[in-house]
Structure 1
């Protein structure tokens, strides 16, 4: 039996642990994984036994490295339409208002920000790093930049997006900027996130979900306006796929952790 790319475990305390389970691909998201994530969030809407969720990636190398570059994403022929399979992988995109805590070990980059942008807060291992490779590969960081600009000071979000693969944001600096709410020892991010989620699950669920919805309301209008520009910016600024592939193949392996 082929293992599922998203693993779900539930506990008696009302907390579910959702794990991206493709460690051999650094938990990159292919079309099957995207569909599984959507299905998981939609299912949780009807599961009253699940009151809080922890989202993580399998293994210690990566939380998630975004879209799997081997994924074949069909696109409509119209220049006015573009399909992005990552737009539906987050809990808020699927009308789920139960709190979600991210537990980050290793790398979180690029399309991983679609997920991190829809979590309530982040817990990260001291060895975690964050970066956005888009510009280095001739691609516009549009959706990812919007998600991070709502979680970080502008200058930090801009540096993260514009430095590409040359620099990674270390967990301690991410904690200083507010992107990460708690640092854990190596290998300890999930345990720390589960402890926080257990507190959330123990509180009256109506009050918790109402608070999540209120917090989201404080930024969703601005976010929607910003995201509306993303397809045009990507269409105008992205290099042709063959040039992107060339830049990816010749990418430098050296980077600085800040």
Structure 2
């Protein structure tokens, strides 16, 4: 895609790697545009079953805004929306699972990239934080994707005190699914658990999960009633149940 956001297809998985190690993989316009384009690519290509998001090296997953430029908060106020917010919106619409491989520091806007992912595995060296108050600003767009992910008291402390969590604290808070000394081994294990399932069920399941998040109970119940009815009509649903009765492995078509 570009020098700052590397894209590589490995079997059924699209890897998107922030490639700015000299800036601790800080966010740039090229990074945001590349991530947005990568999600678009995955949504268009039925052979891509998951997207892994990570950073180059072992020091940082993403350190957030690149404060060294002095332009991190120089927005074009004529535009009603900004690049990071638009990326988080795009991720919210995605029905291909996004998996964060947190290889190091995950800070500020990097926490937004983590939170927009559906699953996350972290290295034992990883640290997590929202240090914006230390430089006179406050986490904003990332709150929209973090507020339902971690307990409110944890979120308040992260935002108001600006101090980091270590990997085990992040695990306890629900920021990640797993922490491992063998990051890639655990990631492969998790992808294996995901990729052998029905592509249709995963896609429609993510669609359902994301749509009911902000719905009142009755609206959510009516929506999910319709979704299970539609899912039951798919080829994968028929094949999965037939394979169960015949005691064999399903042969998914993704239809």
Into which bin does the TM-score normalised by the smaller protein fall? 0.7 to 0.9
2:132 paired residue among 127, 131, 134 = 134
Equivalent residue for 1:181? 177
Structure 2 alignment gaps of length 5 or more: 217-255
Counterparts of 1:232-243 in structure 2, within 5 Å, are none
Q: CA deviation at 1:178?
A: 1.6
Contact 1:75 1:82 in 2 (8 A): no
Coordinate RMSD, CA, aligned: 2.3
| Residue deviations 1:144-185 (CA, integer Å, cap 9, x gap) | 233222111111111111112xx2101111111222211110
Q: Structure 1 residue aligned with 2:195, among 178, 196, 201?
A: 201
Give the number of the structure whose residues are more often helix, by fraction. 2
Deviation string, structure 1 residues 51-85 (Cα, Å, up to 9, x no partner): 1121111111110011222174663455xx66532
Question: Structure 2 length normalisation: TM-score?
Answer: 0.76
Counterpart position of 2:9: 10
Query: Any idea what the Cα deviations from partners look like across 1:102-145, whole Å, max 9, x if unmatched?
Result: 11121101011221121112111111110111111111222223
Bigger Rg over Cα: 2
Q: Is the 8 A contact 2:13 2:49 kept in 1?
A: yes
Residue-pair matches, total = 214
RCO (CA 8 Å, sep 6+): is it higher in 1 or 2?
Answer: 1
Structure 1: stretches of 5+ with no match in the other structure? 223-258
**2:209 is paired with a residue of what secondary structure?**
helix
Aligned equivalents of 2:93, 2:146: Cα separation in 1:
20
What is the CA–CA distance in structure 2 between the aligned matches of 1:197 and 1:152, rounded to whole Å? 23
Distance 1:153 1:77, change over 3 A: closer
